[in-house]
Amino acid sequence: MSNLQHSFNLHLSVDCVVFGFDGTSLKVLLIEKELSASQGEMSQKFKLPGDLIIKMEDLQGATERVLTQMTGLSDIYLQQFAVFGEPDRISDPEDISWLEESSGVSITRVVTTAYYSLIRIDKSKVKNAIKNNASWHELSKLPDLAFDHANIIMKGVKSLQMTVRYEPICFELLPKKFTLRQTQTLYEAIFGIELDNRNFRKKLLKAPYIEALDEKEHGVAHKPARFYKFNKSKYKKSRTDVLYYNF
């Protein structure tokens, strides 16, 4: 067993649902793993970014370590949303085989703490994603997932939906300069519904921390839309003015 393997807590892990937005759809960052099948063939599965925690490492620190390795970014928005400790959450023989091969020890049960993270896809460093075999996948078209990661993702989506109703964290997914149409498209992608255009914009523009810029789109086929920005410092001063969407 290597020094790193020896330092792992073999029964505790962190997993992170990393959400990104490409302007059209909500995406999740997944890691592809090649798993040895019993017949000697290779099968493919995907998993969430995650790892066993190091013995002297706290949960937040472990999650930040994993995300920096995957995206090349630091100071990323993180929100803990659930703990998964079902005795049978690791039951597939292929999953068990991969876990034991990657850790170097026999592991029969792991309790994982789940976080979700919001990052701008264009800011994540491509070389890190390629190096770590990570790629973006549409939430509505997820591949075959290892462990109970499909369940973790769905609960992460529910938690995200609940939070964005009263806290404007969605702007972590948008460019610094964005249009109202981009914002509405993002909300529609998060909730999986179509929103009334006029009503949505009216509510959004009532927020004092959404500021219009003296800039418009260039090189578009339609009428150029005005750009806006999210003023985080103004939001912190006016947090009592809750931006709530009753979808």
Taken in order of first residue, the domains within the chain and their CATH numbers are 3-164 (3.90.79.10), 176-237 (1.10.10.10)
What would the pLDDT profile of 135-151 be if each residue is shown by its tens digit? 899 998 999 998 999 99
CA 198/CA 98 separation, integer angstroms: 51
pLDDT for residue 37: 52
pLDDT for residue 39: 44
**For the stretch 84-121, what's the b/e string if a residue is b when 16 or more beta carbons lie within 10 angstroms of its beta carbon?**
beeeebbeeeebeebbeeebeeebeebebbbbbbbbeb
- pLDDT: is 104 or 21 the higher one? 21
**CB-based burial label for 35 (10 Å; 0-12, 13-18, 19+):** middle
Confirm if 179 and 224 have CB atoms less than 8 A apart.
Answer: no
Confidence at 6, pLDDT banded by 50, 70, 90: low
- Other C-beta atoms lying within 10 Å of the C-beta of residue 235: 18
Tokens standing for residue 174 = 């948008």
Tokens standing for residue 247 = 């979808």
CA 40/CA 22 separation, integer angstroms: 38
Confidence at 1, pLDDT banded by 50, 70, 90: very low
Weakest mean pLDDT among 9-13, 66-70, 99-103, 120-124: 99-103
Q: Is the pLDDT of residue 182 over 60?
A: yes
- pTM of the predicted structure, to 2 decimals: 0.86
Round the average pLDDT of the chain to a whole number and report it: 85
Q: Is the pLDDT of residue 163 over 60?
A: yes
Q: Is the pLDDT of residue 13 over 80?
A: yes
128-to-39, 125, 136, 164, 197 alpha-carbon distances in Å: 32, 6, 13, 29, 38
pLDDT for residue 166: 85
CA 110/CA 89 separation, integer angstroms: 8
Tell me what the mean pLDDT of segment 181-199 comes to: 94
Tell me what the mean pLDDT of segment 228-242 comes to: 80
Q: State the Cα torsion 30-34-38-41 to the nearest 10°.
A: 130
Confidence at 89, pLDDT banded by 50, 70, 90: confident
CA 129/CA 29 separation, integer angstroms: 9
Confirm if 190 and 224 have CB atoms less than 8 A apart.
Answer: no
Q: Is the pLDDT of residue 21 over 90?
A: yes
Confirm if 210 and 223 have CB atoms less than 8 A apart.
Answer: no
Half-sphere exposure for 10 (CA within 13 Å, toward CB): 13
